[in-house]
């Protein structure tokens, strides 16, 4: 068996020790005679797994006690709809910063429920930059401001937390959660699908300031109600136990590796190396995102001649570097380099890119 360096945007590569542990525990979890996914979510075994996962992520991200944490089904997209149902009253305005594909998706999900004001939109510039703060057209009384911390497809990342005064910030951190230290107290809600930095697809993490749960929001079924989920400890219905368990193993791995501060350093070195190869290639490779907002997690790039795309991908695959094809919306290539991508993987990709340029230059 040989594992490739996998640059998939999500579902994405997982830490090898986590996969090995899951494999070792699959038939018989801690001597109970069954796997963890064959046991009741309300039994002592899974309750322990769930509690440890929550505690570990709280430690990793330094999440204050006045924030509740949820582990839910439905992916990030479902949370995008639920935030309007839970935090905006009928008739209330909500503000959106649209800096890429996922910001647009978030906006689309709330349109049936609220009047959304697009306070800034990077689309006219091809989502290659984040509109300057001075240009944002914020509403007077927005229920919240939503933004996408890292745009997974366009490779655009906020370097700073937007300052919008007292309006609660709701942020989609699907592709950058736990990749660097973050002041959680600046946010009303942070949500993320797990399948990039936290674990397998099928579970989403929602971190919500408890005070916001007192908002009436819109008429909605209990299953769409964050307050009910908090009260039910994310077990209103059967939770995705396998995904939650695997995410819990990832949290333990991250803690053992040195935590979020350590990953921040690794991620900075990894992304800097790739941008350096691209920028020093004399135009052979190009990334069009403004330098100040280039993503540390997803590096989209183009070869100077599209005809080289196929050989690039084929030769990369032969060299053990997989899933580099860009999103169909942009074309070209994309290297996703989340926490679980080792530095050696990025070094191997950088060496391959230089070598490819030499050979096909």
152 touching ligand PMP, by CB under 6 A = yes
Q: Which of residues 5, 50, 75, 190 is near ligand PMP by CB under 6 A?
A: 75
Opening angle at CA 72, ends 67 and 74, nearest 5: 130
Residue 152 CB, nearest approach to ligand PMP (Å): 3
- For residue 267, CA distances in Å to 16, 252, 270, 295, 339 come to 18, 19, 5, 10, 7
Residue 175 CB, nearest approach to ligand PMP (Å): 4
Based on the residue annotation, tell me whether 65 is a catalytic residue of this protein: no
Residue closer to ligand PMP (CB basis): 76 or 254: 76
Task: Check the annotation: does 129 bind a ligand.
Answer: no
Based on the residue annotation, tell me whether 172 is a catalytic residue of this protein: yes
Region of 55-63, 74-82, 155-163, 273-281 interacting with ligand PMP (CB under 6 A) = 74-82
Judged by CB under 6 A, how many residues of this single chain contact ligand PMP? Answer: 11
Residue closer to ligand PMP (CB basis): 180 or 257: 180
10 touching ligand PMP, by CB under 6 A = yes
Residue 101 CB, nearest approach to ligand PMP (Å): 8
**Strand-pair partners of 321:** 5
**Strand-pair partners of 208:** 68, 189
3-class DSSP string for 1-41: CCCCEECCCCCCCCCHHHHHHHHHHCCCHHHCCCCHHHCCC
**Strand-pair partners of 191:** 172, 206
Residue closer to ligand PMP (CB basis): 92 or 175: 175
Compute the half-sphere exposure of residue 191: CA atoms within 13 Å on the CB side of its CA: 28
H-helix or E-strand spanning residue 97: strand 93-98
Residue 62: CB atoms within 10 A of its CB come to: 13
235 burial type by CB count under 10 A (0-12 exposed, 13-18 middle, 19+ buried): middle
157 touching ligand PMP, by CB under 6 A = no
Task: Check the annotation: does 42 bind a ligand.
Answer: yes
**Strand-pair partners of 98:** 121
- Name the token pair of 276: 């350096």
Task: Check the annotation: does 237 bind a ligand.
Answer: yes
C-alpha 3/C-alpha 270 separation (Å) is: 19
Residue 255: CB atoms within 10 A of its CB come to: 15
Of the residues 196, 244, 270, 325, only one is catalytic, namely 196
| Contact pattern from residue 291 through residue 320 relative to ligand PMP, giving x for each residue in contact according to CB under 6 A and a dash for the rest | ------------------------------
C-alpha 51/C-alpha 73 separation (Å) is: 17
Question: DSSP states of 202-266 as a string?
Answer: T-EEEEEEGGGGG---S---GGG-HHHHHHTTT-SS---HHHHHHHHHHHHHHHHHTHHHHHHHH
**For the chain, give me the number of helices (H) and strands (E)?**
9, 14
Residue closer to ligand PMP (CB basis): 175 or 357: 175
Residue closer to ligand PMP (CB basis): 127 or 356: 127
Of the residues 29, 95, 104, 172, only one is catalytic, namely 172
Task: Check the annotation: does 148 bind a ligand.
Answer: no
Task: Check the annotation: does 76 bind a ligand.
Answer: yes
| Contact pattern from residue 168 through residue 197 relative to ligand PMP, giving x for each residue in contact according to CB under 6 A and a dash for the rest | ----x-xx-----------------x----
Region of 60-68, 70-78, 278-286, 342-350 interacting with ligand PMP (CB under 6 A) = 70-78
Which residues inside 83-102 make contact with ligand PMP, applying CB under 6 A? Answer: 102
In the complex, which residue's CB is closest to ligand PMP? 75
Instruction: Enumerate the active-site residues.
Output: 102, 172, 196
Annotated binding site for pyridoxal 5'-phosphate: 76-77, 102, 152, 172, 195, 237-238
Task: Give the footprint of ligand PMP on this chain (CB under 6 A).
Answer: 10, 75-77, 102, 148, 152, 172, 174-175, 193
Could you tell me which residues are annotated as the binding site for L-glutamate? 42
């Amino acid at each position: 068996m040989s594992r490739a360096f996998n640059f998939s945007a999500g579902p994405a590569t997982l830490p090898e020790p986590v996969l090995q542990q899951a494999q070792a525990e699959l038939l018989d979890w801690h001597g109970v005679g069954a796997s963890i996914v064959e046991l009741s979510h309300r039994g002592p075994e899974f309750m322990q797994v769930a509690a440890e996962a929550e505690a570990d992520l709280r430690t990793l991200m330094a999440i204050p006690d006045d924030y509740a944490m949820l582990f839910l089904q439905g992916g990030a997209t479902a949370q995008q709809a639920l935030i309007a149902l839970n935090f905006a009253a009928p008739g209330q305005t909500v503000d959106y910063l649209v800096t890429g594909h996922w910001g647009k998706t978030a906006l689309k999900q709330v349109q049936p429920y609220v009047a959304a004001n697009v306070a800034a939109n990077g689309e006219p510039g091809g989502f290659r930059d984040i509109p300057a703060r001075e240009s944002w057209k914020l509403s007077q009384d927005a229920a919240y401001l939503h933004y996408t911390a890292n745009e997974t497809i366009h490779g655009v990342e906020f370097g700073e937390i937007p300052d919008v005064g007292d309006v609660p910030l709701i942020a989609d951190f699907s592709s950058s959660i736990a990749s660097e230290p973050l002041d959680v107290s600046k946010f009303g809600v942070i949500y993320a699908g797990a399948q990039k930095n936290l674990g397998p697809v099928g579970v989403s993490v929602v971190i919500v300031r408890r005070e916001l749960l007192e908002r009436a929001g819109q008429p909605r079924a209990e299953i769409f109600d964050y307050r009910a989920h908090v009260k039910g400890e994310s077990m209103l219905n059967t939770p995705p136990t396998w995904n939650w368990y695997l995410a819990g193993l990832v949290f333990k791995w991250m803690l053992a590796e040195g935590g979020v501060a350590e990953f921040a350093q690794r991620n900075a070195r990894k992304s800097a190396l790739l941008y350096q190869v691209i920028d020093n290639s004399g135009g052979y490779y190009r990334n069009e995102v403004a330098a100040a907002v280039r993503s540390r997690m997803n590096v989209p790039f183009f070869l100077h001649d599209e005809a080289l795309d196929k050989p690039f991908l084929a030769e990369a695959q032969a060299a053990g570097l997989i899933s580099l094809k860009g999103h169909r919306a942009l074309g070209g290539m994309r290297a996703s380099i989340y926490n679980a991508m080792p530095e050696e993987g990025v070094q191997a990709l950088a060496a391959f890119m230089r070598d490819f340029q030499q050979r096909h230059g």
